[in-house]
Amino acid sequence: MGKTLTEKIIEQHLIEGKLEKGTDIAIKIDQTLTQDATGTMAYLQFEAIGIDRVRTELSVSYVDHNTLQTDFKNPDDHRYLQSIAAKYGLYFSRPGNGICHQVHLERFARPGKALLGSDSHTPTGGGVGSIAIGAGGLDVAAAMAGEAFRLKMPKVVNVYLTGKLPDYVSAKDIILEVLRRIGVKGAVNKVLEYTGPGIKTLTVPERGTITNMGTETGATTSIFPSDDITKEFLEAQERGDQWVSLVPDNDAEYDERIEINLDDLEPLIAEPHSPGNVKSVKEIEGLVVDQVCIGSCTNSSLRDLKVVANIMKGKTISENTVLTVSPGSRQVVDHMIKSGEMAYLVESGARILENACGPCIGMGLAPKTDAVTLRTFNRNFLGRSGTRSAQAYLVSPETAAASVLAGKLTDPRSIGKPPKIDMPKKFIVNDNMIIPPLPPERAKDVIIVRGPNIKPLPELNPLPEKLEGEVLLKVEDDITTDHIMPAGAKILPLRSNIPEISKFVFIDVDESFHDRSLERNGGFIVGGENYGQGSSREHAAIAPKYLGLKAVIVKSFARIHLANLVNFGIVPLTFANKDDYNRIEQGDNFEIDLTTLQTGKVILKNLSKNIDIPLTHSLSETEIEVLKAGGKLPHIKQKHA
């Protein structure tokens, strides 16, 4: 029986386990990436491990999230990150160089490599045929220290593409079509592997758009083969020597199959407040639009901005609509300036923002009260834009450009002949804003720079045999990490200060959560399906842990958040019978005996209602050991000791 591309690459990196779906495996990690919102904590954890230098082939620290400098906190953290990179052997991508996923795709991602990133959209690297997985910062810190990355061997879904995209339909519409079919939890513990004759019509940046937003399906990662199109891209980036051909076997067997005829696709849109709420643009065309934001790691490539610029050429945006453009990298900006296409955007009335995440992460450019905002981003969660009352829709660059000219949601197919764009045969390569690692003999003399906002890690102690406390909060299905630990310009600068950032845990769900948690010495959270979907931010586990959270009991978990809970000593449990969720109320007092954890069967005693509720879990033996130690950091320290 032949192998899928996913199986081939995982097999090459396999350290423990077998290629048996759903079983626990451990793989060697070749590359890591961090960004500044998650990186400060990841490197504090790396320092705590006590390794003198990263042990990966390549590790890169990017600054792209916390670039809004309203006080000392963000620039202090940037200096900390730069000094860490110098001391421990990392590349450092300076502020203004670009968004981590776009820059990594351009300059570092390689076919066949295993990349682990402390950002949930790390699967962008699958656009060049790498196994690129998002994870919590502690998992990335451990990988930099030479530890294997542990996960469930995923199922592999073949997304088989045929045909060719019609005019004004783009890669964003392909991944929106996937989301329309399987939703935001349809690919949990699965890899979306793209094949078929249709992939030959998609460039690497277009493939990167698809693998990037595949994260919103819950997928472990997404991947395209490394073929002639990959080779052409790497050669244009002056990295042709890094190309290798990587394709699935002709007789590869997949666990599931999704067939999409690109000829049949049309412009799509995700309605508030989920990437899975997908409709065709024509179904709701005419909606008045207040703001349009183009960019993010999903749609900020040179291809995307060229298309937008040429649609905007010689025109002016609607007088009642604001347009922002966030290029993905300096390389993109260089090309747009030299071709003259940046002028088309400026002259149309676009506000050109920094090469950073910006509005996508709520870092500035929040829309007005009750605004309708169209975004080429990957997420439209409630309040993520910075304005809780805003209605955020996700669209392609083509739909965004057509709509900002009209001031209302517009099917781009109605605006006339599509523009022709010319992509360069060779990209402008200038890595002067990427600082390479220092040699070990110089690195040992580097002094780590720490600002006053960087506080020590919270103490992680071994778990007791019995957990006791009350239900601090009961929540519904699809609770995101934005619900648990919001982002935005006010909160992101506190990422290295857990006592301060913990004041914002669940603030948009229940403003009293922080105070009640401290008053009651912690307790439990009860939730529905897909708890913890969205960002990889481990602060959604660390900050609740600081407040005394002991266990989370839900119908099901999102992959990365479950791992983050384990990493910080919070017990993740699921209902053996999902209907038992209805037998619990906020304020109930619980008692949970953990001595039966290894059996996979745990009893929750609801003391308030005098009932026993059976629970289960998907934890491996290693994860149980990590929990008992109090978390991954003490577990690693024990191992090294």
The predicted-structure confidence for 580-592, as pLDDT tens digits, reads as follows 999 999 999 999 9
pLDDT tens sequence across 280-320: 999 999 999 999 999 999 999 999 999 999 999 999 999 99
Calpha distance 37→539 (Å, rounded): 10
The reported pLDDT for the residue numbered 535 is: 87
Q: How far is CA 250 from the centre of its chain?
A: 31
Q: What is the DSSP string of 295-324?
A: -TTTS-SHHHHHHHHHHHTT----TT-EEE
Model-level pTM greater than 0.85?
yes
Active site residue: 537, 559, 617, 635, which one?
537
pLDDT at 613 over 70: yes
The reported pLDDT for the residue numbered 640 is: 66
The reported pLDDT for the residue numbered 641 is: 64
The reported pLDDT for the residue numbered 1 is: 81
Nearest residue to 37 (alpha-carbon basis) of 377, 450, 537: 537
pLDDT tens sequence across 435-461: 999 999 999 999 999 999 998 888 899
The reported pLDDT for the residue numbered 108 is: 98
The reported pLDDT for the residue numbered 402 is: 98
Under a CB-based contact definition with an 8 Å cutoff, are residues 290 and 405 in contact? no
pLDDT at 276 over 70: yes
Q: What is the arithmetic mean of pLDDT over 493-512? A: 94
Q: What is the DSSP string of 398-421?
A: HHHHHHHHHTB---GGGSSSPPP-
Calpha distance 355→342 (Å, rounded): 14
**Is 537 a catalytic site residue?**
yes
The reported pLDDT for the residue numbered 240 is: 98
pLDDT tens sequence across 385-438: 999 999 999 999 999 999 999 999 999 999 999 999 999 999 999 999 999 999
What three-state secondary structure class fits 177? Answer: helix
The reported pLDDT for the residue numbered 639 is: 75
pLDDT at 272 over 90: yes
Angle, CA 191 vertex, CA 144 and CA 623 arms, to 5°: 50
**Is 30 a catalytic site residue?**
no
Q: What is the arithmetic mean of pLDDT over 243-255? A: 97
Calpha distance 375→442 (Å, rounded): 45
Q: 20-43 b/e with 16+ CB inside 10 Å = b?
A: eeeebbbbbbbbbbbbbbbbbbbb
Active site residue: 379, 539, 559, 617, which one?
379
Calpha distance 145→142 (Å, rounded): 5
The reported pLDDT for the residue numbered 105 is: 98
Calpha distance 605→608 (Å, rounded): 9
Considering all CA atoms of the chain, what is the largest pairwise distance in Å, rounded to the nearest integer?
A: 72
Active site residue: 30, 36, 65, 326, which one?
65
The reported pLDDT for the residue numbered 488 is: 87
pLDDT at 208 over 90: yes
Band (329; pLDDT cuts 50, 70, 90)? very high
pLDDT at 466 over 70: yes
Active site residue: 300, 385, 496, 535, which one?
535
Q: What is the arithmetic mean of pLDDT over 83-101? A: 98
pLDDT at 262 over 90: yes
Percentage of the chain modeled with pLDDT above 70: 100
Under a CB-based contact definition with an 8 Å cutoff, are residues 68 and 488 in contact? no
Residue type, 281: V
The reported pLDDT for the residue numbered 638 is: 79
Q: What is the arithmetic mean of pLDDT over 26-54? A: 95
Active site residue: 64, 290, 304, 588, which one?
64
Site of tokens 């819950």: 218
Q: What is the DSSP string of 105-119?
A: HHHT--TT-EEEESS
Token pair belonging to 183: 């939703």
DSSP code, position 208: H
pLDDT tens sequence across 180-201: 999 999 999 999 999 999 999 9
Band (637; pLDDT cuts 50, 70, 90)? confident
pLDDT at 161 over 70: yes
Q: What is the arithmetic mean of pLDDT over 544-572? A: 96
Q: What is the arithmetic mean of pLDDT over 591-597? A: 94
What three-state secondary structure class fits 78? Answer: helix
**Is 535 a catalytic site residue?**
yes
Domains of the chain plus CATH, in order, are 5-264 (3.30.499.10), 268-413 (3.30.499.10), 466-640 (3.20.19.10)
Site of tokens 């910062």: 137
The CA–CA distances, whole Å, from 70 to 76, 83, 99, 276, 490 equal: 12, 22, 20, 34, 10
Percentage of the chain modeled with pLDDT above 90: 95
Calpha distance 625→634 (Å, rounded): 11
Token pair belonging to 55: 């042990």
Calpha distance 74→109 (Å, rounded): 27
The CA–CA distances, whole Å, from 571 to 332, 397, 550, 617, 627 equal: 44, 42, 6, 9, 7
Calpha distance 396→299 (Å, rounded): 8
Active site residue: 119, 290, 478, 588, which one?
119
The CA–CA distances, whole Å, from 467 to 192, 623, 632 equal: 38, 18, 19
**Is 119 a catalytic site residue?**
yes
**Is 65 a catalytic site residue?**
yes
Question: Which residues have a Cβ under 8 Å from the Cβ of 526 and sit 6 or more positions away?
Answer: 471, 473, 474, 475, 552, 553, 554, 581, 584, 586
